[in-house]
Structure 1
């Protein structure tokens, strides 16, 4: 048997705390035959009480397991990461295979916890297999002596309701046709203006670099997400609203989707900026499923993916962007736009996780 251990907030106030990335992964895993084993987490202000409840559920799972079974969990977990290695080792006493689907390395992000990389490596070393973001993350963990089988995911999937996906597919086809036929009649200045409309989606309150976008002249940034705060000299930015994750791809209206983090526009600085060297940002999947080419740091792991598949542009600084987009050729943009279509189909169908699991 194959099980996926799912943890979720059981109290009503936290019902919306779930992530689309983890929810999509759970759905795909169910399609692959992984049965849900749900563990509710209650008031997270009482970790010891949560631990006792978790132990009760863990004992139920332990009783279910037989030699040869598989248990997959998505890391980090809610509230119990400190004890994770002990739980994994306990379940392995049943001679079952333990698999970790890694969403984030919080020791590199340095956002929620003060964990060190060594502490996270110790937890991850308890698994038989880990699905990591990409080849760079695998190399980082290998270089730090993590001796576990690792498989790169390459990109997070972004599942869409059938009706929304069909509408997006039709939009993709019509936009490519328009780019190839009608836009050739536009002059260079009009085309450049069109390409300078750049979307950025995410938690805007945590995206410190947005406060310095006035240093990037001539670009129209369209922002999506919570935490927007109108700033002085913010004429280059427009807030387009906050939408449900399944609605957002159809709402994006821009020529490119921006991947950037940190507190500066001339480089990706700070822990979150440096983290882009190793992670697959979920917003990359959002933009691609919407059929929008990407703009990302040259130093980022997703930049490697962009180059490999011809999905957009990589830059060293946001300040470079106006000059690059001014000289962008129509044929090059059409090629980038067309390259997003097969990737969008793969993302919307869960193909990347299915390949990593079944490989």
Structure 2
């Protein structure tokens, strides 16, 4: 028996979807998993014969009784993904659906596709979901798979020798502020440092734009100190779309991988993890975020940094992927 993981290629090297799948594959290989490469491409003009040949090529190395972790979605289409799952089923594999994103919830205009995604998920023996909230939502939508595993956090594998964060009353945001109008229109006293490319038609006068960094450069810069800010697309919690309350933030793991204390909204799916492990502040508004940072003492910060070092160790060594890998295989047994 062999264990296989699908792995995404063909998107921008800056794509979080691609990075998350590639990092997962890197960790799974440490546990002996085999890679099944999936290329992201425009298949709108592909004939059924060509598609069938392509899928046969992906499945060619899979044998009767093997285990396949399908990292979902492939971003080709739900019909494409479902066709591949049927190919795996034809050789009587055990299927683990590892859900990274759920496009019908992520993009409300695609909600009409939800029955198709649920039908695809129900083909599997085990489903890995980002959070308990996502589990509950998918069950409401019709998920019938009984063996469900909660991921909880993303891993960010690295072996860098980073700084120990120093006490600085500043907030850090890693992400394109064009998607977050309240970031560009920053109204708080605490300075906000943003890691993103500069766009010519944007006003960056209210923030400190640091520019884009690759993973290694970003982790090194983050580890110098401050607080990592996780926030949704809306300034006010009550205006935030459901999806941010269901999925898990890659940004959160990026900050924690650098050993950085964080500030997160109370609606974040894993806000309780931050609260229970003393990794930073859980707040209900950006005003509260500003106040917490301004009132934080050096002693409080030092304790958060000490707590964050444990999370950094787990995230940088792939603990969460390794755990769900083992839990899923045990569930199959």
Q: 1:155 maps to what in 2?
A: 153
Alignment equivalent of 1:249, drawn from 184, 205, 219: 219
Pick closer, same or farther for the CA change 1:257–1:229 going to 2, 3 Å. Answer: farther
CA RMSD of aligned residues (A): 2.5
Pick closer, same or farther for the CA change 1:231–1:58 going to 2, 3 Å. Answer: closer
TM-score w.r.t. length of structure 2: 0.87
SS at match of 1:301: coil
Q: CA deviation at 1:351?
A: 0.8
Unmatched runs of 5 consecutive residues or more in structure 2: 328-333
Unmatched runs of 5 consecutive residues or more in structure 1: 180-193
Q: 2:294 maps to what in 1?
A: 326
Task: Note if 1:211 corresponds to 2:184.
Answer: yes
Contact 2:4–2:34 (CA under 8 A) maintained in structure 1:
yes
Q: CA deviation at 1:28?
A: 1.1
Q: 2:207 maps to what in 1?
A: 237
Q: CA deviation at 1:313?
A: 0.5
Distance 1:83 1:240 in 2: 40
Q: 1:8 maps to what in 2?
A: 9
Alignment equivalent of 2:141, drawn from 122, 144, 168: 144
Task: Note if 1:78 corresponds to 2:75.
Answer: yes
Q: 2:90 maps to what in 1?
A: 93
TM-score w.r.t. length of structure 1: 0.81
Pick closer, same or farther for the CA change 1:111–1:32 going to 2, 3 Å. Answer: farther
Distance 1:322 1:7 in 2: 38
Distance 1:50 1:251 in 2: 48
Distance 1:329 1:340 in 2: 16
Aligned residue pairs, count: 323
Distance 1:63 1:325 in 2: 54
Structure with more of its chain in helix, by fraction: 1
Distance 2:320 2:214 in 1: 23
| Partner deviation per Cα, 1:169-221 (whole Å, 9 max, x = no partner) | xx22xx4xx66xxxxxxxxxxxxxx32x000001222223223322x2x1100
Output aligned runs, 1:1-359, within 5 Å: 1-9=2-10, 19-42=18-41, 44=42, 46-49=43-46, 53-110=50-107, 113=110, 115-148=112-145, 149-160=147-158, 162=159, 165=160, 167-168=161-162, 171-172=163-164, 175=165, 194-195=168-169, 197-214=170-187, 216=188, 218-226=189-197, 228=199, 235-252=205-222, 253-263=224-234, 265-267=235-237, 269-271=239-241, 274-359=242-327
Q: CA deviation at 1:228?
A: 4.8
Pick closer, same or farther for the CA change 1:301–1:3 going to 2, 3 Å. Answer: same
SS at match of 2:84: helix
Q: Which runs of structure 1 show a deviation greater than 6 angstroms over 4 or more consecutive aligned residues?
A: none
Pick closer, same or farther for the CA change 1:2–1:338 going to 2, 3 Å. Answer: same
Q: CA deviation at 1:60?
A: 3.4
Distance 1:259 1:16 in 2: 19
Pick closer, same or farther for the CA change 1:15–1:229 going to 2, 3 Å. Answer: closer
| Partner deviation per Cα, 1:65-90 (whole Å, 9 max, x = no partner) | 33321112211113132232343133
The structure whose Rg is larger is 1
Q: CA deviation at 1:98?
A: 1.0
Contact 1:157–1:348 (CA under 8 A) maintained in structure 2:
yes
